[in-house]
Amino acid sequence: MNIGTTFLIAAFLGLYGAASGEELHFEAPEAPLQTQDKHQKADSTIVYATVGRSQYAFDIYSLPAETDPVEANAEVRLTDGQSVNFNGAFGRRQDELFFVSERDGNMELYNRRVKNEMSSKHSYERMTSDPSMQDRPIQTKDGRIIFASTHVPNPQPRHGWTAIYNSKEGSLHKARRLTPENETDYSPALSPDEKWLAVASGSGKTGESDVVVMKAKNGSHRRTVAKNGGWPTFAADGKSLFFHRQSEDGWWSIYWKDIDGDLETRITPPGRDFFTPAAFHAGDRRVAVAFQDANKIRQIAVLYNGPTASRTEWYMTQLTNLSTHHYNPFVSPDGQQVGYHRCRCLGADSDEYIPVLERHTTSLPGVDLMRIDGSFPSFSDDDKYILYNEGFTGVSAVARDGSHKQLIFKGPAFGTSASVYDKQRVVATASGPTFATEDKTVHIFLLTDGSSGSEDWGNADVLKLTKNGTGNNAFPAFSSDGSEIVFRSGRTGDKNLYIMSTRGEEHGLLRLTEGPWDDTMPGWTPASGWIVFASSRNYVDSNRPAGAFDIFMVRPDGSGLRRVFDSHGGLANHPKFSPKFTPEAGRIVFTSDYAGYSAEEIALPHQFQPYGDLFAINIDGTGLQRLTHDPYENGTPTWGSNGTPEVKARKSTKLSCSFDDSVEWLRPKQAAVSKTTANVNDMQQQASSASFWCPFARHQTDEEIAPSR
């Protein structure tokens, strides 16, 4: 180890009493994955948005475990640049890699190995084809795969579906569930002797998971070993483990825990965030971690005990220093390599472009599910185009196959609804601040296409439809004949629904709902007989959770109000009717947190709501079906007629890997920063005689490197 590139990161001992929990015993049931029918023909399409996802472009890389960051050419890319690849794990065979990829439509498990002994090329084997999420693969010595999956619903509303499974007979489609019913487990880790499994059990939200261990074979002897912790990893001795926790002072830190005792040690200091540890099993006292550097970039490092082999002294060697985020390290069985994933566009030989549309697999028969690089999509009246917002800076149109993209309005805008009115194509949108209070000025505008029916959209005439002084007006939706628009307005101090003429509210305005609650995000049935919307009306007289909405239907004359979906105090937004709506067989698509978190939120790039999935439900409230399975924020769906043709690869937005991922958003609002001051000063004094790591490209001073707020 090159001590010249290291620094003493902790010289204090934090001891905490953490009594072991009661052991639980149960018979682990079989829970087979399903096989997706790739040949089903779709007669409709749901298009939706995912926050930030289009910029990720992750590939998996590795570095020698003792590489100085100056040796940048030592980094090796392990995956092939197709789609998004992440959360890797080295296999037992040399050059074998297990990982998660979205290349076939959703988060599934893949295996990369050398094609044959005479070739240096790799083959990629798809190991699962279930329209749910599979994550965090681990290969055992006898070839089984332990992994996380969301393919079995949790019967408790707003609880995660993620559970841990152990494959049988060499097939992931024959798996035994290790997580008890009603429980949610994330981030599995296997002990060196493969007898025990550790998981983060709870909600996935910061501060709401505990570290639990169980028998790896069948999930028995389950017990809690550390409260308020996640992402466990067994130490080389198999008798202790490391995990991360957001400490009381607000900093993410790595902890060491004796599994069978009460001894618990914080090994990283305040003043810098450390998370997602991965311990070395080939020799003890080393653990790879991700941490946030002085520029708020996630980097990879290795922590190790000092020369005295005392738990009170830990040093760090930084492995990466590129100006892009590096995630979730993992270690090879021989301890020689550390893997991680990062965005591949940095330093790439050629440009990469973000597709406007990406196909996503779904369990909903006869439906194509498409993710758009934008938000608030809607279908044109003839179903040939998709209208959408790009970064709240305008309105664009794109053909159904992802080609012929056009900007039709430039300016602040959110929400789209398209129709034909007076024999011209029209789009309604809102312009003004997003997520604003009732009194803020937000207007609804009508964009009239002046292209005389040609393929191109253009020469749009812009007409303001709402009057001045009416406050926050947004989320317009056309009636089937294009003559009326339903929208949300805060003009009376409450956000309720109104219907106005497409020529503007001065030509006719009807108040549809009224009350001291929020009614918002309306959508009209194809025959305009019903309006669906999100409402907080059931949470007015209680301690309303933030963002609590249910889904309701009402007739345009205000009659027939009924609740379609009960969120149980959670999120339920952006409802839209299916295009083949009938009063007997209509369906609604919407977004909700009904399935909770699918992964630990600290292990992901910043998502404002890392728990939103798409669901479909019958209009009578039956037949709830989850459509997306991932840890992202999915939302603003729309449902149009006809399936989607093969998406054409067209140059669109250039991939830049530019997304914000500071962990500050996870820090408590009132973190006791003052409590860290004395510790930080002590750390600086104790470390002054040690050799400090200094990233070659940043020219930081020792003062900047030392933990500080």
pLDDT attached to residue 472: 94
- Same domain, residue pair 238 and 379: no
Domain count, the chain: 2
Comparing 6-10, 97-101, 168-172, 312-316, which segment has the lowest mean pLDDT?
6-10
Q: pLDDT tens, 4-27? A: 334 444 333 232 232 333 333 334
73 pLDDT above the threshold of 90: no
Contact status, residue 59 vs residue 103, Cβ threshold 8 Å: no
pLDDT band at 507 (very low <50, low <70, confident <90, very high): very high
Average per-residue pLDDT for the chain: 84
Q: What angle do CA 563, 569, 570 make, to 5 degrees?
A: 95
Boundary residue ending a domain (624, 648, 672)? 648
The answer to whether residue 229 sits within a structural domain is yes
Comparing 173-177, 218-222, 623-627, 676-680, which segment has the lowest mean pLDDT?
676-680
- Same domain, residue pair 191 and 321: yes
> Which pairing describes strands 424-431 and 394-399: parallel, antiparallel, or unpaired?
unpaired
704 pLDDT above the threshold of 90: no
The answer to whether residue 44 sits within a structural domain is no
The answer to whether residue 675 sits within a structural domain is no
The answer to whether residue 160 sits within a structural domain is yes
> Rounded to whole angstroms, what are the CA distances from 246 to 201, 249, 256, 260, 431?
15, 8, 14, 23, 39
pLDDT attached to residue 657: 79
Contacts of 119 (CB under 8 A, 6+ apart): none
424 pLDDT above the threshold of 50: yes
**Distance, CA of 167 to CA of 125 (rounded, Å):** 16
- Same domain, residue pair 337 and 369: no
The answer to whether residue 350 sits within a structural domain is no
Q: Burial level of 161, CB count in 10 A (0-12/13-18/19+)?
A: buried
Contact status, residue 388 vs residue 50, Cβ threshold 8 Å: no
**Distance, CA of 427 to CA of 250 (rounded, Å):** 46
Max mean pLDDT among 307-316, 602-611, 673-682 falls in 602-611
pLDDT attached to residue 687: 37
The answer to whether residue 601 sits within a structural domain is yes
Contact status, residue 574 vs residue 137, Cβ threshold 8 Å: no
- Same domain, residue pair 408 and 371: yes
The answer to whether residue 214 sits within a structural domain is yes
pLDDT attached to residue 542: 64
Q: Which residue has the tokens 């399975």?
A: 629
- Same domain, residue pair 393 and 318: no
Comparing 76-85, 117-126, 196-205, 401-410, which segment has the lowest mean pLDDT?
117-126
- Same domain, residue pair 543 and 623: yes
CA-wise closest residue to 358 among 377, 345, 340, 344? 377
Q: Burial level of 342, CB count in 10 A (0-12/13-18/19+)?
A: buried
CB half-sphere exposure, 333, CA atoms < 13 A = 17
- Same domain, residue pair 424 and 334: no
Phi, psi of 73 (to 5 degrees): -75, -5
- Same domain, residue pair 513 and 404: yes
**Distance, CA of 432 to CA of 183 (rounded, Å):** 43
Contact status, residue 611 vs residue 591, Cβ threshold 8 Å: no
pLDDT attached to residue 655: 80
Predicted model pTM: 0.88
Per-residue burial over 370-388, b if 16 or more Cβ lie within 10 Å, else e, is bbbbbbbbbbbbeeebbbb
pLDDT attached to residue 121: 77
pLDDT attached to residue 453: 58
Residue 510's domain comprises: 356-648
703 pLDDT above the threshold of 60: no
CA-wise closest residue to 614 among 652, 564, 574, 566? 574
Residue with the bigger pLDDT between 1 and 637: it is 637
The answer to whether residue 680 sits within a structural domain is no
Boundary residue ending a domain (632, 648, 664)? 648
pLDDT attached to residue 169: 63
- Same domain, residue pair 506 and 555: yes
Q: Residue 471: which CATH number? A: 2.120.10.30
- Same domain, residue pair 62 and 165: yes
Comparing 141-155, 179-193, 582-596, 687-701, which segment has the lowest mean pLDDT?
687-701
Q: What integer is the mean pLDDT of 198-220?
A: 94
pLDDT band at 669 (very low <50, low <70, confident <90, very high): low
Q: pLDDT tens, 309-346? A: 555 678 889 999 888 999 999 999 999 999 999 999 76
- Same domain, residue pair 194 and 64: yes
Residue with the bigger pLDDT between 5 and 231: it is 231
Boundary residue ending a domain (627, 648, 669)? 648
Q: pLDDT tens, 248-273? A: 999 999 999 999 999 999 999 999 99
pLDDT band at 499 (very low <50, low <70, confident <90, very high): very high
- Same domain, residue pair 479 and 553: yes
Q: What percent of the chain has pLDDT over 90?
A: 60
Contact status, residue 210 vs residue 200, Cβ threshold 8 Å: yes
Q: pLDDT tens, 521-542? A: 999 998 879 999 999 999 987 6
End-to-end CA distance of the chain: 29
622 pLDDT above the threshold of 90: yes
pLDDT attached to residue 548: 92
